[in-house]
Amino acid sequence: MKHLRKLSFVLAAAMAFSALLISCNGQTGSTGSTSSQGTSSASSQAQEDDGLPAAGDFSEKLSICWYMCTDATAYKEGNPVAKELNEKFNVEMSTIAVNGFDNDKMNVTLASGTIPDVMIRWGTQQYYDDGIIQSVTKDMIAEYMPQTYKIMEGYGDGIWVNTVSSSDGEIMGVPQFSINGDMVHTAVIREDWLAATGLSMPKTIDDLTEVLRAFTFNDPDGNGKNDTYGLTIPGLHNNLLYAACPMIFGAYGVIPTYWTLDRDGEVSYGAVQEGYKEALKQLAAWYKEGLIDPEWVTMDNAAYQNKITNGLIGVWGYANPAYMNYSSPTSIPSLTIANNPNAKWHYMEPLTGPGGYAGGSSDGPAGSWTMSFGAKASKEQIARAMQIAEALNTNMDLYELTYFGVEGTTFIRNEDGSDAQITGIVPAEYGCQVFRTASTLTWDAVSLSYPKNVVSLMKESTSYPFIRNVVSTGAISGTYDTMDVDSAEMTKLTSEFFFNAITGTIDIDAEWDGYVQRWMDLGGKVQTEGARTLPIIYTNKNK
């Protein structure tokens, strides 16, 4: 591996003192006669898996330390979720009662030798390289998680992008993925303003230009004041190039922060592709004409949302279907209606640009999380854990229990069938969100978390043109030495060019080549070379 190992310096001392890693409940075996002395080699689990327990054989009681990355600091023993799983699968469930999003605390916990049997988190490659987790086989996943595996097969090789080791090609665990990851992020428009200005829903960038003019100059809210703009941008957003308005960049064939095929068919970063330059020129033209709120440069997320909900902006450019939640009183649509009961938002389909491109951004089903297995977990523990995960993924009663808890105690069921956590409840106290996976495999499961209108939009948007990363972004970092990349300066460069381009401070065409070269010199060259060695995992459908 060429990349620097972030955990190695933390783990080296602890692992030098002891080769024995213990499970998080302090046990190194099952509660029955089955030995838990599994292999300590990170790759030995990938050997032929003979002598595995039969699927559905829960006769041997096993202890399983299950760590799902969440804030489990309030976890209490004897909770209803653990009790149900213990009884149903003949196990003794435990967890690590830490906030998994605190990387420092998690690293110290692992360095102490406390290793869970099941760990659902990101950073899988590093854990594997450091011997914290072991590999498994696809055959094991297919045997003990047949329904989950069948769904994974439908996604092709892309589903495995973050679970195949870049160091030896072994399977580092079970991919975690969500069906709603296929939804396409576009933008939302004030449909009542379209009606007020006599315009139709825009289909192209040229159409949108006319709409932005009407929203800016034709008093769409009818208050007799010149106080509205077509578009704004959260200039201080920590992921500015993505949050600006993915759908507009998609109309030029790029998403600035995605690795996609450029017009020569080579893998390239979006913010240095020709389509990005063309999109910046369009945004600069709109800004010069006064169609973009001039305060965008100093606008943080709160100010951005206030502008939208107070009825000053006609196109909300950073949105996905989940944001269209009218059931939540704090959502942008709900707050907008609270200020103006006649307001009506419409989730847009991707616009077509001058080159025939169209596409919103899409993360895809596979995220960066993996269900991996501790280096000392036995085959029996792994097999049992996989079967528990299969049930959690496919049995809606168990999915609901492990995510929301007990109806009337930890959640209420809304009229539309979705669940809502009771105010004041601390989920971990009841085992909620502690003993679960990070996967959501069915729309039925999605429907427990979102109201019907949102689920309907999610489903509909999966048919829209989209742009995704065409290679594994996690794997790119394993192709170069991080000392060759100045990430902070690269971010600063792209942000400054974005600001200066749109505000007209620079001539985009004149400065473009120098900008691209500077990006390459700061580390983009080795990143691009590395990205081009990786397999293509998605084909974008955007033209």
pLDDT computed for residue 40 by the predictor: 34
Radius of gyration of the chain, Cα coordinates, nearest whole angstrom? 25
Share of the chain above pLDDT 90, in %: 80
334-365 confidence digits (pLDDT tens): 999 999 999 999 999 999 999 999 999 999 89
pLDDT computed for residue 368 by the predictor: 85
Nearest CA among 78, 84, 149 for reference residue 400: 84
- The gap from C-alpha 423 to its chain's centroid, in whole angstroms, comes to 26
pLDDT computed for residue 26 by the predictor: 52
Measured between alpha carbons, how far is 300 from 306 in angstroms, rounded to an integer?
10
- Structure tokens, 246: 């993915």
Thinking of the domain 188-361+469-531, which architecture would CATH place it in?
A: 3-Layer(aba) Sandwich (3.40)
The residue-averaged pLDDT of 263-284 equals 98
CA distances from 519 to 241, 493, 496 (A): 15, 7, 12
pLDDT computed for residue 234 by the predictor: 96
pLDDT computed for residue 161 by the predictor: 84
Is residue 444 over pLDDT 50? yes
Measured between alpha carbons, how far is 439 from 190 in angstroms, rounded to an integer?
34
79-128 confidence digits (pLDDT tens): 999 999 999 999 999 999 999 898 888 889 998 999 999 999 999 999 99
Please state which of the ranges 137-146, 150-159, 213-222 shows the lowest mean pLDDT.
150-159
pLDDT computed for residue 52 by the predictor: 87
**Global confidence as pTM:** 0.85
Backbone angles phi, psi at 92, to 5 degrees: -120, 100
3-state SS, residue 64: strand
The residue-averaged pLDDT of 405-428 equals 94
Whether CATH 3.40.50.980 fits 10-180+368-458: no
Q: Judge whether 284 and 501 are in contact, CB under 8 Å.
A: yes
Please state which of the ranges 28-42, 127-141, 161-175, 200-214 shows the lowest mean pLDDT.
28-42
Measured between alpha carbons, how far is 440 from 369 in angstroms, rounded to an integer?
13
| pLDDT mean across residues, the chain | 90
The residue-averaged pLDDT of 266-283 equals 98
Biggest distance spanned by C-alpha atoms of the chain:
81
At 25, is the pLDDT very low, low, confident or very high (cuts 50, 70, 90)?
Answer: low
Is residue 459 over pLDDT 80? yes
Share of the chain above pLDDT 70, in %: 91
247-269 confidence digits (pLDDT tens): 999 999 999 999 999 999 999 99
DSSP state letter for 292 = B
> How many C-beta neighbours within 10 Å does residue 346 have?
14
Is residue 195 over pLDDT 80? yes
pLDDT computed for residue 475 by the predictor: 83
Beta partners for residue 450, in sequence order: none
Domain ranges of the chain: 10-180+368-458, 188-361+469-531
